Amino acid sequence: MTLLIEFFDVLLHGLDLIALGLAMGGGVVALAVLRPWQPLTIMGRVALQRSAYLITVGGGGLVATQLLRLAFQFWISLDGLRDWPMAQFLATDFAQAGIVRIMAALGLTAVSWFWLSRRPASLPGWVGLALLAGGVMIAGAWLVHGASRIDNRVPLMAITVVHQWAAVIWVGGILHLLALWRLLWGNLEASYLWPRWMARFSPVALGSVILLIVAGVYLALNYVGSWQGLIGTGYGTMVLTKVVLLLLALFLAARNFSQVRRWRKQRQATGVLEKLPPFLGAEAWVLSIVLLSAAALTSLPPAVDTPDQQASFTEVADRFMPRVPRLVPPSREEYSAAASSVFDIYALPVAVERAQSEFNHNFSGAVVLLMALLAFVDRSRFFPWARHWPLLFLGLAVFLFLFAASTVWPLGAESFWQTLQVPVVLQHRLLTVLVIAVGLFEWRVRTGKLTHPRAVLFFPLLCIVGGGLLLTHSHTVFALKSEFLIEVNHATLGILAVVMGVGRWLELRLDSAEGHWAGWVWRISFILAGLLLLFYSETPVPDGDKH
Amino acid sequence: MVSLIGEFAFKVWVLLVLEAVMTAAWGHAVIVESSPADQEVLAQVPEAIVLRFNVSIEKSFAQASLWGTKDRLKKLSIPESNFALEADPARLYIPLPSLAPGPYQVRYKILATDGHTTEGVIRFIISVPQ
């Protein structure tokens, strides 16, 4: 039960960061972009009201996630204890900080709902909201990893809050701007207001990025500590993954920045109106994945704390070397006799389980590579039959359903329903559903059966979702080094999946030559993902780790 | 407005699915030092197991139990000495009962002061006297 509760705690932490983004980003957009103290147009007033609504949603979300996190933490601490340790629980720093955070978030929600949504031009209201948001952020310092460190505790708590603050302002600001773009779409004032709003947001975003990076470097120095820690641990890999995704977001942001600069110099709003919103949407998705990865990162032990579990550069490089794929599974009898129950979280995989895992990955890689090549051929338009490539996703889903947890029904003896409480099994079941959804949606899009502008975005969105899944994928609860050597492949696959999603998103949203190159980007990422899976191999468990 | 809410709901759904399929390594806290060490073969029965973590912990919520190869043998108590003011906030001292030769596990669950729970295990073998 602990695993499942911790699993939901990570889930709630991710939601908490997004809700924080909506609440904080809204305040910043209101004060720095919409400027309630200046004479407002009708649309400016409506935009402030929209921001207030979104802040209410974010504030409400914060209250709910924080309450649930506290409840889960209390529940998990009950397990095995005879009494209800309520007094001890309330005496802990994190419980007190959580309660303060709930109070501040409640205040923030009340101010935005009862005050600002009715009087959106009230400057005292916005200042009050900013103060309450500051309270939420400061109380959060006792909930971050730095709060439990033995050394350097206070600086780590403070810098983590600054890092979070910069991130949520950037992400939340973009979410609000996208909502405001919806408001302006088709409106005559769009060409007047939108470039101005974007020009006002640019320095805020730039400042947030600088703060985010400076604070991030400080945290990396303290928690990662060395190059080997960065390259050779799960924590380091997640930090690197965040850096790569951040670079992708910055690339998208730079495109937006250049459009705004062009508008400033030439007062030509075309680029800001036509190109900027699709890039902004892609940036929002990438940054949301970064936030979710950050939530998962907090559950990994820092690299500096696992100096004897770090892989060398050669070991990591070996994970990406081509090798003969395993396309035949081990015998079922041998597997059934040796495989551990999915409930046994402390079991290390034996040889036949590793062989099964290699077969699962390599066979999936062959299917993915075939789909990717067909997607390439499909682009030539000389082979119309190639457009049916998404149907192969359905075959992949059947394969996943059967083999992803082969000790479970229908191939194994363990119950389908009972094993859903094991996070890794639940994860694979949901992945199977996602794969079916991706296949069906994209096939209908390719064959012209689905033309709704939002429905066609399902494939890129689910690529991003799948990428997020892989970025936070983990196999065992200990044997950190061997766990990491598996994770490093999944992290790379996750990044490729996010790049695929962004590429396809932009291909669909941009009609110009930029959409054309985005089409190549996602197809190349698709092929690389197939190759990575095809050459995937399990790491042998070191002698010291064998039971 | 309705379409905006619909789109927002869709995005929230996508994010929820994304999060629902997330998992993490449940090892926020790790042991930086233990006696006996994990996988250690001991000639003598240790009087206690000492665990030192990389983070400070809420000791009132620490739990530990002794396991044989498959079954739980005993729930281990956390003595008062752990709560002394001068005690290391990251260290747990857990007395062990007398043990026959064989393989054992001490499974623990701790709550870090930032609210994260971690479960883990230390495995050791008491060897048969020559």
pLDDT of residue A80: 63
Name the residue in chain A with its Cα closest to that of B4: A182
Those residues whose C-beta lies under 8 Å from the C-beta of residue A109, and which sit 6 or more positions away, are A55, A56, A59, A60, A62, A63
Q: What is the mean pLDDT of residues A462-473?
A: 77
Distance CA A354, CA A370 (A): 24
Q: What is the distance in angstroms between the CA of the first residue and the CA of the last residue of chain B?
A: 81
Q: Is B129:B100 a contact under the CB 8 Å cutoff?
A: no
Name the residue in chain B with its Cα closest to that of A461: B14
The model's confidence at residue B8, banded by pLDDT at 50, 70 and 90, is very low
Query: Which residues of chain B from 39 to 98 reach within 8 Å of chain A, CB to CB?
Result: 39, 54-58, 60-61, 63, 65, 75, 89-90
Of B4, B22, B115, the CB nearest to A94: B115
Those residues whose C-beta lies under 8 Å from the C-beta of residue A308, and which sit 6 or more positions away, are none
pLDDT of residue A338: 82
Distance CA A9, CA A427 (A): 15
Indicate whether A72 pLDDT > 70: yes
> What are the structure tokens assigned to A516, written together?
């054309």
Q: What is the mean pLDDT of residues A184-202?
A: 84
Indicate whether A58 pLDDT > 80: yes
From chain B, pick out residues whose CB is under 8 angstroms from the CB of A437. Answer: none
Distance CA B28, CA A344 (A): 19
Distance CA A424, CA A260 (A): 44
From the CA of B47, how many Å to the nearest CA of chain A?
Answer: 23
From the CA of A264, how many Å to the nearest CA of chain B?
Answer: 30
pLDDT of residue A141: 95
Q: Is A17:A291 a contact under the CB 8 Å cutoff?
A: yes
Instruction: Work out the angle at residue A465's Cα, subtended by the Cα atoms of residues A461 and A469, and round it to the nearest 5 degrees.
Output: 170
Lowest-pLDDT choice from A348-352, A365-369, A496-500: A348-352
Those residues whose C-beta lies under 8 Å from the C-beta of residue A193, and which sit 6 or more positions away, are A41, A43, A44, A47, A184
A480 with B19: Cβ contact below 8 A: no
Q: Is A270:A482 a contact under the CB 8 Å cutoff?
A: no
Q: What is the mean pLDDT of residues A385-408?
A: 91
From chain A, pick out residues whose CB is under 8 angstroms from the CB of B24. Answer: 6-7, 10, 296, 299-300, 472, 474
The model's confidence at residue A488, banded by pLDDT at 50, 70 and 90, is confident
Nearest to A361 by CA among A541, A540, A535: A535
Distance CA A214, CA B15 (A): 28
Lowest-pLDDT choice from A177-181, A261-265, A479-483: A479-483
The model's confidence at residue A55, banded by pLDDT at 50, 70 and 90, is very high
From the CA of B113, how many Å to the nearest CA of chain A?
Answer: 5
pLDDT of residue A158: 96
Place of tokens 């009230």: A122
Distance CA A432, CA A403 (A): 11
Please indicate if any CB of chain A lies within 8 Å of the CB of B5: no
The model's confidence at residue A2, banded by pLDDT at 50, 70 and 90, is low
Q: What is the mean pLDDT of residues A274-301?
A: 86
The model's confidence at residue A259, banded by pLDDT at 50, 70 and 90, is confident
pLDDT of residue B24: 31
pLDDT of residue A534: 95
Nearest to A93 by CA among A146, A168, A156: A146
What stretch of H or E contains B112?
Answer: none
**Summary mean pLDDT of chain A:** 87
Place of tokens 């233990």: B34
Strands (E) across A194-256 are located at none
Q: In chain A, what is the greatest distance between 2 CA atoms, to the nearest angstrom?
A: 77
Q: What is the mean pLDDT of residues A330-350?
A: 80
Three-class secondary structure of residue B108 per DSSP: strand
What stretch of H or E contains B109?
Answer: strand B102-111
| B10-49 pLDDT, tens digit each | 444 444 444 443 333 345 788 999 999 988 999 998 999 9
Q: Is B52:B33 a contact under the CB 8 Å cutoff?
A: yes
Of B28, B30, B114, the CB nearest to A306: B30
Q: What is the mean pLDDT of residues A498-512?
A: 89
pLDDT of residue A77: 77
pLDDT of residue A216: 95
pLDDT of residue B1: 43
Of B30, B32, B117, the CB nearest to A76: B117
Q: What is the mean pLDDT of residues A380-400?
A: 92
Indicate whether A138 pLDDT > 90: yes
The model's confidence at residue A397, banded by pLDDT at 50, 70 and 90, is very high
From the CA of B105, how many Å to the nearest CA of chain A?
Answer: 11
Question: Domain residues of chain A, as ranges?
Answer: 1-143, 154-309, 313-535
Q: What is the mean pLDDT of residues A404-429?
A: 83
Distance CA A353, CA A336 (A): 9
DSSP A441-480: HHHHHHTTS---TTGGGHHHHHHHHHHHHHHT----SS-H
Distance CA A91, CA A88 (A): 5
| A146-172 pLDDT, tens digit each | 999 999 999 999 999 999 999 999 999
Residue of B11, B14, B26 to mutate, testing the A interface (most A Cβ within 10 Å of its Cβ): B26
B25 with A483: Cβ contact below 8 A: yes
pLDDT above 90 covers a percentage of chain A that reads 47
Of A80, A179, A289, the CB nearest to B63: A80
B24 with A434: Cβ contact below 8 A: no
> What are the structure tokens assigned to A288, written together?
């949301």
pLDDT of residue A539: 73
- Is the pLDDT higher at A478 or at A234? A234
Indicate whether A463 pLDDT > 60: yes
Distance CA B31, CA A185 (A): 55
Distance CA A517, CA A514 (A): 5
- Is the pLDDT higher at A486 or at A352? A352
DSSP A96-121: HHHHHHHHHHHHHHHIIIIIITT-TT
Three-class secondary structure of residue B65 per DSSP: strand
Nearest to A413 by CA among A357, A488, A471, A340: A340
Distance CA A53, CA A505 (A): 27
Distance CA A128, CA A134 (A): 10
From chain B, pick out residues whose CB is under 8 angstroms from the CB of A289. Answer: 18
pTM confidence score? 0.84
Nearest to A69 by CA among A48, A97, A46, A34: A97
- From the CB of residue A406, how many other CB atoms can be counted at a distance below 10 Å? 21
Q: Which residues of A246-264 are buried (b: 16+ CB within 10 A; e: fewer)?
A: bebbeebbebbbebbebbe
Q: What is the mean pLDDT of residues B69-83?
A: 86
pLDDT of residue A87: 87
Distance CA B121, CA A216 (A): 32
Instruction: Work out the angle at residue A269's Cα, subtended by the Cα atoms of residues A268 and A274, and round it to the nearest 5 degrees.
Output: 130
The model's confidence at residue A85, banded by pLDDT at 50, 70 and 90, is confident
pLDDT of residue A97: 96
pLDDT of residue B130: 64
The model's confidence at residue B112, banded by pLDDT at 50, 70 and 90, is very high
Q: What is the mean pLDDT of residues A112-133?
A: 91
Q: What is the distance in angstroms between the CA of the first residue and the CA of the last residue of chain A?
A: 24
The model's confidence at residue A466, banded by pLDDT at 50, 70 and 90, is confident
A150 with B113: Cβ contact below 8 A: no
Alpha helices in A29-84 (DSSP H): 42-78
pLDDT above 90 covers a percentage of chain B that reads 38
Name the residue in chain B with its Cα closest to that of A98: B115
Indicate whether A460 pLDDT > 60: yes
The model's confidence at residue B5, banded by pLDDT at 50, 70 and 90, is very low
pLDDT of residue A392: 96
The model's confidence at residue A7, banded by pLDDT at 50, 70 and 90, is low
Q: Is A41:A189 a contact under the CB 8 Å cutoff?
A: yes
Those residues whose C-beta lies under 8 Å from the C-beta of residue B29, and which sit 6 or more positions away, are A148, A301, B53, B54, B55, B57, B110, B112, B116, B118
Residue of A54, A66, A299 to mutate, testing the B interface (most B Cβ within 10 Å of its Cβ): A299
A182 with B18: Cβ contact below 8 A: no
Residue of B3, B17, B19, B66 to mutate, testing the A interface (most A Cβ within 10 Å of its Cβ): B19
pLDDT of residue A478: 45
- From the CB of residue A238, how many other CB atoms can be counted at a distance below 10 Å? 26
Specify which of A91-95, A473-477, A487-491 reaches the highest per-range mean pLDDT: A91-95
Q: Which amino acid is at B67?
A: W
Distance CA A372, CA A504 (A): 13
pLDDT of residue A514: 77
A152: left (phi over 0), alpha (psi -120 to 50) or beta: left
Specify which of A8-22, A148-162, A307-321, A335-349 reaches the highest per-range mean pLDDT: A148-162
Of A15, A81, A476, the CB nearest to B19: A15
Name beta bridge partners: B93. Answer: B50
The model's confidence at residue A292, banded by pLDDT at 50, 70 and 90, is confident
Residue of B4, B5, B21 to mutate, testing the A interface (most A Cβ within 10 Å of its Cβ): B21
Distance CA A291, CA B97 (A): 46
> Can you tell me the ipTM of this complex?
0.78
> What are the structure tokens assigned to A348, written together?
């290390």
Please indicate if any CB of chain A lies within 8 Å of the CB of B21: yes
